[in-house]
Amino acid sequence: MCGIVGYIGVDDSKDILLTGLEKLEYRGYDSAGIALLDENEVYVTKVKGRIAALREKVDANTAATVGIGHTRWATHGEPSEDNAHPHQSGSGRFTLVHNGVIENYSEVRDQFLADVPFKSETDTEVVVQLIEYFVAQEGDVLAGFREALTVLKGSYALALIDNQNSDQLYVAKNKSPLLIGLGEGFNVVASDAMATLKETNRYVEIEDKEVVLVRREGVEIQKLDGSVVERDAYVAEIDAADTEKGTYPHFMLKEIDEQPVVIRKIIQEYQDNEGDIKLDNDIRQAMQRADRIYIIAAGTSYHAGLVGKQFLEKLANIPVEVHIASEFSYNMPLLSENPLFVFISQSGETADSRSVLVQIKALGHPALTITNVPGSTLSREADYTLPLHAGPEIAVASTKAYTAQVAVLAILAVDSAKAKGMDLSFHPLQELGIVASAMEALTDQKEEFERIAKEFFATTRNAFYIGRGVDYYVVQEAALKLKEISYIQAEGFAGGELKHGTIALIEEGTPVIAISTQENINLSIRGNIQEVAARGANTCIVSMKGLEKDSDTFVVPAVHELLTPLVSVIPMQLLAYYAALHRDCDVDKPRNLAKSVTVE
Ligand code: M6R
């Protein structure tokens, strides 16, 4: 969480930093700040709130060619102006922005900074004070910066300004993402390439425990021992237009609409000239060697993993366990002899998943990351990567990444089955083509979903979603979508489980939404709906063509029974979207959340 940006060049850095921060707001948006260095004077502006408020507050008359900025998701200390970054050392010489969590900040404060007065409750202020402390000891800024880094434990992406040197930014990273963007006569630093695409598309990666001296005319990467590292730059393949809303009112709606295109892109990317599945042979072999697959993920990606388990078990006959990353780390199950770990993560930066990756790598197990961001931490640190090709997903509520994850998992499962010599009648690439058209038919009916959302969610305090089999996995995702953006308390239950306790919560008018896309459960889920209707629930059934009844609220087009989550989830996404819209919620940036969850 949190996003940082830095600039050193010849132009006024103010607007470059603010525009960059706007692109990073998905990483946290409770407070923000920038520091501009002009000659030896540093101008710091901070606000509680969004970048728009920061933009208003920044003095239009201050111009500087060096600057750093930050957008925050609070971890230590409430969102406030005092706790907003940048933070400064006691003398005011050093100014710092930080993304990450310093685990030993209170020990560091006690050991080195007992006499130093602090202005904020943040771990970051400890870092900048520690840097000043070591610079005084070492008599040199770089040596002091490095010394401070050797003491710190935890995660950080740091950008530091020294007001006595306007020709250099000091940058370092450990576990938190950070890139250096390269330009002509300027260089930039950012948590995500998206923040600096207006300036450059050439980047160089920084690895953990490296320090970078960023100057106007070049960058120098060093290890903590001072040895210089040479690393090639690469060109980021992100189209700046993909990071804009265009004519859409919200990124979430745009991203929901993009899903048919994403599915078609996946078909194209995972198909060879003969129309067969195209997959890296190393991944194919890793799948063959595995006697059990452990899927590790969080949130929506976890829900995609549940659907993926069905594919892998039913099609490829491989046993699969799906684990919530934050639980796995502290409660590791007994592992099979030849496990393969599959990390599913839109961002590729989720700290909970990364912590599992570090654990299982230490045990010597292979890992595959399925991500929308090749080059992300989970992608770089795993042995293999399967990209989602979904394009940047900016709304905090994940939509197109979920359907892309499910589609890629289906392809992986079929490829593994074929590699085992299994004869399948299921052709995922053709079937995904049908799915893309079905998705289009659904996204064309927005008025209908807006009407249903008004009917069921306009004033309710809570809502229940029920399903059985694979529909149960989709209702869990449906409930997450609704609660995170509309703040309606929502739960996704297995239809048959309600009567074992939860049905006690059903009152007159409680919305209960059921999904029915599978022939073998069609009657039983309808029975569960009858049970809640008899107790006063306001019921809604979303069924699949061929299984529908006249009284159903909405019927989705028929697709292959294995791929139904890809279409049944679309009404759920749109219902959540319109519920949030009509309750005047901030759809793209819901309260308390951030898109990329880089703290454990
Ligand atoms: O980037 P990841 O897929 O690893 O993120 C995992 C979750 O934080 C994410 O899916 C979250 O649940 C979304 N906000 C849900 O819409």
153: confidence class by pLDDT, cuts 50, 70, 90: very high
pLDDT at residue 146 is higher than 90? yes
Give me the pLDDT at residue 592, please: 87
Give me the pLDDT at residue 570, please: 98
Residues 6+ apart with CB under 8 A from 416: 284, 287, 288, 312, 315, 316, 318
pLDDT at residue 336 is higher than 90? yes
The answer to whether 79 and 92 are in contact (CB under 8 A) is no
What number of residues does the chain have? 600
Please report, for the chain, the start and end positions of each structural domain, with discontinuous segments joined by +. Answer: 2-241, 245-442, 445-600
Runs of H (alpha helix) within 48-140: 51-57, 105-112, 123-138
Cα gap 398→395, rounded to integer Å? 7
The answer to whether 87 and 124 are in contact (CB under 8 A) is yes
61: confidence class by pLDDT, cuts 50, 70, 90: confident
pLDDT at residue 598 is higher than 80? no
Per-residue three-class SS string for 504-521 = HHCCCCCEEEEEECCHHH
Amino acid identity at 270: Y
Give me the pLDDT at residue 95, please: 98
Residues facing 38 on adjacent strands: 41
Q: Do domains 2-241 and 245-442 have the same CATH topology?
A: no
Buried b (16+ CB within 10 A) or exposed e, 106-142: eebbeebbeeeeeebebbbbbbbbbbbbbbeeeeebb
Give me the pLDDT at residue 243, please: 84
263: confidence class by pLDDT, cuts 50, 70, 90: very high
Amino acid identity at 193: A
Residues 6+ apart with CB under 8 A from 241: none
In the CATH hierarchy, which fold is given to the domain comprising 445-600?
Rossmann fold (3.40.50)
What's the burial of 330, exposed, middle or buried (CB within 10 Å: 0-12/13-18/19+)? exposed
Grouping H, G, I as helix, E, B as strand and the rest as coil, residue 222 is strand
pLDDT at residue 283 is higher than 80? yes
- Which among 597, 598, 599, 600 is the best mutation to test ligand 1's pocket, defined by most ligand atoms within 8 Å of the CB? 597
pLDDT at residue 599 is higher than 90? no
Q: Please tell me which of 26-30, 36-40, 315-319 the model is most confident about, judged by mean pLDDT.
A: 315-319
Q: How many CB atoms lie within 10 A of CB 488?
A: 21
What element of type H or E holds 5? Answer: strand 3-8
> First vs last Cα of the chain: how many Å apart?
10
When the candidates are 3.40.50.10490, 3.40.50.720, 3.40.190.10, 3.40.720.10, the CATH number that belongs to 245-442 is 3.40.50.10490
Q: Across all residues in the chain, what is the average pLDDT?
A: 95
For residue 399, give the ligand 1 atom closest to its CA.
16
Ligand 1 contact via 301 beta carbon (within 6 Å): yes
Distances (CA, A) of 237 to 57, 64, 197, 375, 389: 34, 30, 10, 11, 11
Amino acid identity at 263: I
What element of type H or E holds 361? Answer: helix 351-362
Catalytic annotation, pick one of 46, 48, 481, 595: 595
Grouping H, G, I as helix, E, B as strand and the rest as coil, residue 557 is coil
pLDDT at residue 594 is higher than 90? no
pLDDT at residue 358 is higher than 80? yes
* For ligand 1, atom 14: residue with the closest CA: 397
* pLDDT tens string 375-388: 889 999 999 999 99
267: confidence class by pLDDT, cuts 50, 70, 90: very high
The answer to whether 302 and 324 are in contact (CB under 8 A) is yes
Ligand 1 contact via 350 beta carbon (within 6 Å): yes
* pLDDT tens string 181-224: 999 999 999 999 989 999 999 999 999 999 999 999 999 999 99
pLDDT at residue 424 is higher than 90? no
pLDDT at residue 1 is higher than 80? no
Determine whether 278 is an active site residue. Answer: no
Determine whether 2 is an active site residue. Answer: yes
Mean pLDDT of 522-539: 96
423: confidence class by pLDDT, cuts 50, 70, 90: confident
Buried b (16+ CB within 10 A) or exposed e, 53-63: ebbeebeeeee
Residue 397 DSSP code: S
Mean pLDDT of 495-505: 93
Ligand 1 contact via 395 beta carbon (within 6 Å): no
pLDDT at residue 15 is higher than 90? yes
The answer to whether 525 and 466 are in contact (CB under 8 A) is yes
Cα gap 254→245, rounded to integer Å? 7
* pLDDT tens string 86-140: 999 999 999 999 999 999 999 999 999 999 999 999 999 999 999 999 999 999 9
237: confidence class by pLDDT, cuts 50, 70, 90: confident
Residues 6+ apart with CB under 8 A from 514: 465, 466, 467, 471, 475, 495, 525, 526, 528, 529, 539, 540, 541, 542
Ligand 1 contact via 345 beta carbon (within 6 Å): yes
What element of type H or E holds 452? Answer: helix 446-457
Query: DSSP per residue over 225-279, as a string?
Result: TS-EE----EE----GGGGS-TT-S-HHHHHHHTHHHHHHHHHHHTB-TTSSB--
- Ligand 1: distance of its center to the CA of 346 in Å? 7
441: confidence class by pLDDT, cuts 50, 70, 90: very high
Q: Give the residue carrying structure tokens 């009407």.
A: 451
What's the burial of 520, exposed, middle or buried (CB within 10 Å: 0-12/13-18/19+)? exposed
Grouping H, G, I as helix, E, B as strand and the rest as coil, residue 491 is strand
Give me the pLDDT at residue 74, please: 86
Residue 102 DSSP code: B
Give me the pLDDT at residue 29, please: 87
486: confidence class by pLDDT, cuts 50, 70, 90: very high
State what percent of residues in the chain have pLDDT above 70. Answer: 100
Q: What is the CATH number of domain 2-241?
A: 3.60.20.10
- Which among 343, 344, 350 is the best mutation to test ligand 1's pocket, defined by most ligand atoms within 8 Å of the CB? 350
469's tokens: 């089999």
Give me the pLDDT at residue 525, please: 97
pLDDT at residue 326 is higher than 80? yes
515: confidence class by pLDDT, cuts 50, 70, 90: very high
The answer to whether 312 and 413 are in contact (CB under 8 A) is yes
* pLDDT tens string 157-184: 999 999 999 999 999 999 888 999 999 9
Query: DSSP per residue over 143-161, as a string?
Result: HHHHHHHHH--B-EEEEEE
Cα gap 225→146, rounded to integer Å? 8
